[in-house]
Amino acid sequence: MQLYAQHPAVRVRQVAADVGMLAWVVVWVVVARAVHAAVLVLAEPGQAVEDLGRSVAGSMNSAADAAEGVPLVGDELAAPFGSLADAGGSVSGAGQSAQDAVGTLATVLAVVLVVLPVGWLLLHWLPWRLRYAREAGAARRLIAGTPDLDILAARALATAPLPRLAALPAGTGAAWHAGDPAAVRALAAVELGRLGLRLPDDIQSLTRR
């Protein structure tokens, strides 16, 4: 698979795009982590409520245990403290639920902040890189072994920008139609140049004969 062009200028653009993609991912991961940490701060009141409820429940349970030791009326005295202990447990559970909700919100926001911007850029960057790798790989196969430059030449005539074709020597199209190796090589070089590739030196020597 041909991931990068041979031509330095094209290769620099490709590397810059890949580095930019990586930097984009890193930036949004850092932003997501910061947002996650900031949202988790909202869980501190829930933690305080949970601690308060747990403390009240513990104190009331201790008081209920002590009240039960009073002869004759111990059960009656312990009942209110038991109810307060249950209320403290409920408050503690509410504080824990609030923390769980904040933690879930922080996680969802962090995931969204990574998936949406990174996914948006990935949908543009990945097809472009895969398309280049596929086309450059096919072009390399056409010039490997027994080269088939006519396909590349025909592709150049069909898709190359007119200014690029006009820059070729006059009569290149007619010469290609007549099978002139130099014209075939020139047009094939145009198509390869679009991909940032070059004709191998041995093929250039062969086509000059």
- Higher pLDDT residue, 88 or 7? 7
Transcribe 136-150 into DSSP letters: HHHHHHHHSSS--HH
Query: Can you give the pLDDT at residue 69?
Result: 65
Q: Which residue in this structure is represented by tokens 């447990």?
A: 89
Domain positions in the chain are 1-133, 145-209
pLDDT, tens digit, 9 for 90 and up, residues 156-175: 988 888 899 889 988 888 88
Tell whether the model's pLDDT for residue 68 goes beyond 70. Answer: no
- Could you tell me what percent of the chain has a pLDDT over 90? 29
pLDDT, tens digit, 9 for 90 and up, residues 118-146: 999 999 999 999 999 999 989 888 888 77
Q: Are 201 and 185 in contact (CB under 8 A)?
A: no
Across 156-193, b (16+ Cβ under 10 Å) vs e yields: bbeebeeeeeeebeeebeebbeeeeeebbbbbbbbbbb
Query: Can you give the pLDDT at residue 73?
Result: 60
Q: What is the mean pLDDT of the chain?
A: 83
Tell whether the model's pLDDT for residue 209 goes beyond 50. Answer: no
**Distance from C-alpha of 190 to C-alpha of 192, rounded to nearest angstrom:** 5
Tell whether the model's pLDDT for residue 1 goes beyond 80. Answer: no
Tell whether the model's pLDDT for residue 103 goes beyond 80. Answer: yes
Helix (H) or strand (E) holding 197: none
For the chain, helix, strand, coil in percent to 5 are 85, 0, 15
pTM as predicted: 0.71
